[in-house]
C-alpha cells in the first residue's frame, strides 16, 4: 500500500488548494515580494474556501479534518513561490488561532476564532521577546490584574503578521518566574497603548510583515484569557507540534520545487559541448539530494501520521523532522543555486532568491539546537548539572 494512502477526498482538497494557489498567489508572487507586502484580501479569499480552519471544529467554521489535510494545504501553497505569503496564511490558521481553538472559552472562540477562520480578522502570535529567544519560560511582558481587566506592559519582536493583525494571541506573565507564571490572552490591536514600533526588514520573505510590538498599559478584559492562568507555557509548547509539522512540510516542498527547477536547468544547459546533467559530478550531487529529500519527506509524513493518530511519539518525530529538514534546506538550496553558476546570484532567478534566507528555517518554532535537546531528552539520560 502506498504511503500516505491518499483518498479521493484528499485529492479533491489538493486540487482546490492548487487552484487557489495558481490563481491567487503565483501570478503576483514577484510583485508582492518587490513591494514587501501581500494584500489582506488573500486572507479573506482563503477563508471563503475553508483553508484557514482545516483542522478546527465545524462548530466554529472549521472543516474538522486531520493533519494530512494540513500537509496537503502546505505542499500546495508553497507552489505559489511566495513563502512570505504562505507564512502569513499559516500563522493565521496554524499558529495564532490553534490555542484559541484548543483552550479558549466558547465566547472567545465566537468573538475571535470564527472571524479568523473566515479571513475577516487577521491574527498574529506574540511570544518572542528581544531578550528571550527560545527561552519562552523567561518572557518579561506582564499582564497585571486590575478589577475586571488585565493591564499589559512589555514588548514582542519577530512577530509575523504583526503590522497588520487585528489581534495578537499574546504570551504574558501573570504570575511569578518560570513557566508556571506564563498565560495566554487575546489582545486586540486597536486597544489604547498598543503600538507597532517598527516593521522589521528581513533578508528574505519580504512580502510577510514582521514587526516589533509595544504594549504600554494596554487594558483588555480578563475574559480574553485563553484557558487557565499559569498554563500558557504548556499551551504554547503543545501548539509548537503543529507549527513544526507545517515548517517541515514547507521545507520539503520548497526543496522539491528548487530541485525540480535545477534538474530542468541542468538538462538544458550545455558546457564543453554536452548537457551539464550528463556530467557525473552533478548527476551524483543531485542524486544525493533526491535521496535526502525523499528521506526527509518520509520522516515528515511519519510525524503527520503519528500526530493524526494522537500518538505521543509524534512530538519526538516532528522534532526530528524539523531538524532534518532544516539541514536539508540549507544544503540543497545552496547547492542548487551553485549549479546555476552566475545566474545563481541573480535576483531574477527563483532558486537564487530561495538561497537568501536558508538559515531562518532552523530558527522558527524552536531552533535546531532546541530540536536536538528535545530528541536527546527522549532517548538519552540527562547528564550531571
Active-site positions read 243
Round to whole Å and give the CA distance between 270 and 277. 8
In the 8-state DSSP scheme, what is residue 174?
-
Round to whole Å and give the CA distance between 99 and 86. 20
Give counts: helices (H), strands (E), the chain. Answer: 13, 10
Give alpha helix (H) positions in the chain.
Answer: 8-24, 29-35, 41-48, 67-78, 83-90, 98-103, 106-108, 114-118, 232-268, 280-309, 313-339, 350-354, 368-379
Please say whether the beta carbons of 21 and 79 come within 8 A: yes
Pairing of strands 123-126, 149-160: unpaired
Residues 6 or more apart whose CB falls under 8 angstroms from that of 112 comprise: 97, 100, 104, 121, 123, 167, 186
Q: How many CB atoms lie within 10 A of CB 375?
A: 15
Round to whole Å and give the CA distance between 226 and 170. 9
Please say whether the beta carbons of 140 and 193 come within 8 A: no
Alpha-carbon distances of 306 from 236, 281, 291, 315, rounded to whole Å: 20, 38, 23, 9
Amino acid at each position: 500500500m502506498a504511503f500516505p494512502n491518499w483518498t479521493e477526498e484528499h485529492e479533491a482538497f489538493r486540487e482546490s488548494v492548487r487552484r487557489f494557489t495558481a490563481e491567487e498567489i503565483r501570478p503576483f508572487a514577484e510583485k508582492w515580494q518587490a513591494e514587501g507586502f501581500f494584500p489582506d484580501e488573500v486572507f479573506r479569499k482563503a477563508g471563503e474556501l475553508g483553508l484557514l480552519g482545516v483542522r478546527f471544529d465545524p462548530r466554529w467554521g472549521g472543516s474538522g479534518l486531520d493533519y494530512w489535510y494540513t500537509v496537503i494545504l502546505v505542499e500546495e501553497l508553497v507552489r505559489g513561490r511566495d513563502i512570505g505569503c504562505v507564512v502569513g496564511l499559516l500563522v493565521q490558521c496554524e499558529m495564532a488561532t490553534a490555542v484559541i481553538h484548543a483552550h479558549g472559552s466558547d465566547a472567545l472562540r465566537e468573538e475571535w476564532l470564527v472571524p479568523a477562520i473566515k479571513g475577516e480578522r487577521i491574527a498574529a502570535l506574540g511570544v518572542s521577546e528581544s531578550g528571550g529567544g527560545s527561552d519562552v519560560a523567561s518572557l518579561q511582558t506582564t499582564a497585571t490584574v486590575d478589577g475586571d481587566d488585565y493591564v499589559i506592559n512589555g514588548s514582542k519582536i519577530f512577530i509575523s503578521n504583526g503590522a497588520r493583525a487585528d489581534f495578537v494571541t499574546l504570551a504574558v506573565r501573570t504570575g511569578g518566574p518560570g513557566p508556571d507564571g506564563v498565560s495566554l490572552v487575546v489582545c486586540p490591536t486597536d486597544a489604547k497603548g498598543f503600538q507597532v514600533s517598527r516593521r522589521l526588514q528581513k533578508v528574505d520573505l519580504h512580502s510577510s510583515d514582521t514587526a516589533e510590538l509595544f504594549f504600554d498599559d494596554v487594558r483588555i478584559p480578563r475574559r480574553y484569557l485563553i484557558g487557565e492562568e499559569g498554563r500558557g507555557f504548556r499551551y504554547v509548547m503543545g501548539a509548537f507540534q503543529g507549527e513544526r509539522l507545517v515548517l517541515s512540510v514547507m521545507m520539503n516542498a520548497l526543496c522539491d520545487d528548487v530541485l525540480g527547477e535545477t534538474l530542468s536547468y541542468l538538462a538544458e544547459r550545455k558546457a564543453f559541448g554536452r548537457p551539464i546533467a550528463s556530467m557525473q559530478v552533478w548527476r551524483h550531487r543531485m542524486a544525493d539530494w533526491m535521496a535526502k529529500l525523499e528521506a526527509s519527506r518520509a520522516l515528515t509524513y511519519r510525524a503527520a501520521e503519528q500526530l493524526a493518530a494522537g500518538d505521543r511519539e509524534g512530538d519526538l518525530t516532528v522534532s526530528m523532522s524539523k531538524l532534518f529538514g532544516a539541514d536539508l534546506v540549507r544544503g540543497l538550496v545552496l547547492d542548487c543555486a551553485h549549479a546555476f553558476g552566475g545566474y545563481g546570484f541573480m535576483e531574477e532567478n527563483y532558486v537564487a532568491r530561495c538561497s537568501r534566507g536558508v538559515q531562518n528555517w532552523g530558527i522558527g518554532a524552536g531552533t535546531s539546537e532546541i530540536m536536538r535537546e528535545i530528541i536527546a531528552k527522549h532517548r538519552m539520560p540527562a547528564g550531571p548539572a
